[in-house]
Structure 1
C-alpha cells in the first residue's frame, strides 16, 4: 500500500482489478493467502487506508455479487483477524472495530456465512472446526469495558494527567467505541437467537457447539485476571457490564444450542467470576 493517495477513478479501477482477480482465481488457498496478505493489520500507519480500501472492496463485491471476495472477507474476519489484535491492549484498533461493526450490524448473518455455506459430514466430531467468529466476538464485547478501564489506568500511571473531563467519564473516542461494542453485542445476541433454526435445519442441533465450552473457561479466567488488575471499587460498573454481557451471551447460546454443556459445568466455571449482583 503506497503512501501516495489514489484519486477516485484510480481507486475504482484498483477495486475492479481486485474484484476480478479474486473472482477468476480458481484456487481457494491462493485467494485466501493473497487476501490475508493485503488486508491483515500490520500495526503501522498504512492500516487505516488498508481498512478503508477493504470496506470499499467488500461493498463493491456485494453490489456486483462477487461471492469469492465475500468468502475471503468472511475467512479474514473469522480466522485471520483475531490473531492480529494486540494482546497487550486487548482491544482492536478503533478503525478496524468500526469497519467490522458496520458490516455486522447492517447484516448480522455475515457472522454465519461460513457455517451456512459449509457442507458438514454427519460423522465429523463435535467442534471439529471453528465455523463462525462468535467466540472471538463474544470475547471482544465482554472484555471491552475492562480493557478500556485498564487502558485509562495505565495512561494515568504513566504520568498523563487527567483532563478537565470528569475522572469517571471517558474521552469521546472511547465513548464511540463503547457504543460500537454495544451494537456488536446486540448483533451477536441476534445471531445466537437465529442459530437454533439453522442447526435444526442442518440436523446439527445438540451435536455441534458453535460456541465451544472449552473457550468459555479461558474467557472467565481472563475476566478474573483483568478484574484483579483493576481496583474493584473503581471499576465496579465496568465489571458489572462485562459480567452482564457474558451472562447474556452464555444464556442465549445455551438456549439456541450453540453452547453445549450442562448447567452444573457452567455453574462451576462461573463460580470463579468476581462477586456481582
Structure 2
C-alpha cells in the first residue's frame, strides 16, 4: 500500500481512532523489512505528524494548534495500550523512537514527559523500558533527556514520600530505565554550575540510595541488556551512572551538614496478657531514626563500591566508568581547597575535605582494582596527584602509577 493510500484510509477516522490506526500503519512501514528506505521513514514521519500528534492540518497543510489537554491524555492512553500489547521489543522500540526521536517539538516532549510520569506511577514496565531506550538513544545528558527527567522528579520526588515503595520496586521491574534515569539525574545535581551546587531532593536521594545499595548490578543494567532496535538502527552506547554517583558521594561532605533527624512515632507496645487481667490499650513512644542526608550519602557510597565490584568485566574492555568523568572531580575539589586556604584553614586538618579525598581514593581503588575504568588512566592519576595531601589517596595513586 502506497503512502497516499495509507493517508487516504486514515482520513476516514477522527481522533483518537485515527491515532490508534496510525500506530498500526507506522509499524507496518518501519518493521519487518530487511531495510527501511528514507522514503518510508519520511512517510512514517508525515503520518505521525498528521494523524498521531495532529501537528498538521489535513486540508491546508499548515500547522494547527496541536492536541488539546484531553486529546493528549487520550493519545497517551493509546500509546500505553500499544506498548503493552506489543510483544516484540525491537518493534516496540522502533515505533516509540519514531514517535519521540529527534524531539525538536516541545509539544511532543511534554506528552512524553506526562507518559513517563504516568508510567512511573503505574509501574508500567513496557512503557518504562521504552522510555529507558529513548533516554539512551537521545543521550542521558542531552537537554531533552534532562528536561524529561526533571519533570519526573517534580512529579514524584518532591515532598512525596507516600509512593516510595512503588518507586523502589522499579529497580526490579524496569532496571534499564532506572539505570539510565540515574545517569541523567546525576547530571542535574552537584555539578557546580556558576559556583552553585544544587543538591538533589532528599526523597530522590533516599530512593536512589535504596536502588543502588540493594541492587549491585543495577548500574550496569543498560549495558548488560542492550536495547533491541530494528535492523540498520545505530544503538547508542549505554553510559552507567557510576561516575556521576562517585561525584555525588565524594562531594557530599563538602556541602552537606552533619545533622540528625529523630522522629517520634507512637506504636502499640506488645505485652503478654495475664489470665484474668483487664485488657488495656498500651501505647509506647519510641524514637525512629531516619537517615540524615550525610548518612544517606555514606550508604550510597558503600552501594557504589559494591556496584564497582559487580561491574568487573571478565571479557572485553572496561565499560563501567570513564576516566575523564572521574577526572572532572579534580577542579571542583581544588576550588573548595582554595576557599579554605583563603580563610587560613590548613587543608590536612579540614575533616570535610579529608572525607571527600578518602571517598575519591576508595572509589578509584575499587574501580581500578576491578578493571572498571576505561580511557586515559595515566592522565587520571596525574590529575588526582594534584589534589591536596591525603595519605590514602597518595598510596593508591603511587601504587597504580607503578603498575602502568
Q: TM-score, length-normalised on structure 1?
A: 0.65
Offset at residue 132 of structure 1 (A): 1.1
In the TM superposition, residue 229 of structure 1 has moved relative to its aligned partner by 2.1
Aligned equivalent of 1:48, options 137, 155, 159? 159
1:239 aligns with 2:387: no
CA gap of 1:61–1:257, structure 2 versus 1, over 3 A, is closer
What is the distance in 1 between the residues matched to 2:241 and 2:338?
27
Q: How many pairs does the alignment contain?
A: 221
User: Which residue does the alignment assign to 1:74?
Assistant: 179
Structure 2 residue runs of 5 or longer lacking an equivalent are: 1-117, 136-144, 229-235, 262-289, 392-404
- Structure 2 counterpart SS, 1:91: coil
User: What is aligned with 2:304?
Assistant: 188
Aligned counterparts of 1:115 and 1:30: Cα–Cα separation in 2:
11
DSSP-derived class of the 1:85 partner: coil
Distance 1:38 1:190, change over 3 A: same
User: In the superposition, relative to structure 1, how do residues 222 and 55 fare at CA in structure 2: closer, same or farther (>3 Å)?
Assistant: farther
Correspondence for 2:122: 18
Give the corresponding residue for 2:397.
Answer: none
Distance 1:178 1:19, change over 3 A: closer
Q: Deviations over 1:172-226 (max 9, x none)?
A: 2597112111111111111111222xx21xx32xx23421111122211111112
What CA distance in whole angstroms lies between the structure 2 residues aligned with 1:18 and 1:96? 18
Match in the other structure for 1:105:
213
Secondary structure at the residue paired with 2:388? Answer: coil
For 1:85, the equivalent position in structure 2 comes to: 189
Q: CA RMSD in A?
A: 3.7
Cα distance change of structure 1 residues 276 and 175 upon mapping to structure 2, 3 Å threshold? farther
Larger RCO, structures 1/2 (Cα 8 Å, 6+ apart): 1
Task: Looking at secondary structure, tell me which structure has more strand per residue.
Answer: 2
Deviation of 1:105 (Å): 1.5
| Counterpart contact for 2:324–2:375, Cα < 8 Å | no
Change (3 A) 1:276 1:90: farther
Instruction: Indicate the structure with greater helix content.
Output: 1
Structure 1 contact 25–31 (Cα < 8 Å) conserved: no
Question: Are 2:120 and 2:128, in contact at CA under 8 Å, matched by a contact in 1?
Answer: no
In 2, Cα distance between equivalents of 1:16 and 1:265: 40
Question: Post-superposition shift, 1:89?
Answer: 3.0
Contact (CA 8 Å) 2:250, 2:359: kept in 1 or not?
Answer: yes
Distance 1:52 1:269, change over 3 A: farther
TM-score w.r.t. length of structure 2:
0.47
1:139 Cα deviation (Å)? 0.3
